[in-house]
Structure 1
Amino acid sequence: MLIIGIDPGISGSICFLDNGKILDVIEMPIMTDGKKNKKQVNGSQVYNEVTKRIKHFEKNQIRVVIEHVSAMPGQGVTSMFNFGQSFGILKGICTAMQLPMYFVRPAKWKKYFNLLNSEKDASRTRAIEIFPYFSSQLSKKKDSNKADAILIASFYHETYKIDD
Structure 2
Amino acid sequence: MTPEVRLLGIDPGLTGALALLSLMPSGPSLAVADMPEVHKTIDAAALADLIRHWPRPDFIVLEQVGPQPRDGVRQAFSFGQSYATARTVALMLEIPLHLVRPQAWKGHFRLRGGPEGKEAGRALALRRFPASAKLFARKKDHNRAEAALLALYGAERLLPAGSLPDPDRVGGVATAGGVAAPGQPLPSPRAAGVSG
Tell me the TM-score normalized by structure 2.
0.74
Q: Using the alignment, how far apart are the partners of 2:21 and 2:50 within structure 1? A: 14
Coordinate RMSD, CA, aligned = 1.5
Q: Using the alignment, how far apart are the partners of 1:108 and 1:96 within structure 2? A: 25
What is the correspondence of 1:74-153 to structure 2 with a 5 Å cutoff?
74-117=70-113, 119=116, 120-153=118-151
What's the CA shift for 1:114?
1.3
Give the gaps of 5 or more residues in structure 1. Answer: 33-38
Q: Which residue of the partner structure matches residue 73 of structure 1?
A: 69
How big is each residue's C-alpha offset from its partner over 1:6-34, in whole Å with a ceiling of 9 and x where there is no partner? Answer: 000101000001117233100000011xx
Q: Which residue of the partner structure matches residue 51 of structure 2?
A: 50
Q: Assess if the C-alpha contact under 8 Å between 1:15 and 1:22 holds in 2.
A: no
1:24 to 5, 18, 31: 31
How big is each residue's C-alpha offset from its partner over 1:51-82, in whole Å with a ceiling of 9 and x where there is no partner? Answer: 0013xx4xxx6101100111101101111111
Is the counterpart of residue 163 in structure 1 residue 187 in structure 2? yes
Q: What percentage of aligned pairs have identical amino acids?
A: 31
Is the counterpart of residue 63 in structure 1 residue 59 in structure 2? yes
User: Which residue identity is paired with 1:64?
Assistant: I
What's the CA shift for 1:117?
4.6
**Which structure's relative contact order is higher, taking Cα pairs within 8 Å and 6+ residues apart?**
1
Q: Which residue of the partner structure matches residue 36 of structure 1?
A: none
Aligned length: 153
Q: Using the alignment, how far apart are the partners of 2:75 and 2:48 within structure 1? A: 24
Q: Assess if the C-alpha contact under 8 Å between 1:9 and 1:87 holds in 2.
A: yes
Q: Using the alignment, how far apart are the partners of 1:52 and 1:23 within structure 2? A: 15
User: Which residue identity is paired with 1:27?
Assistant: D
What's the CA shift for 1:163?
2.5
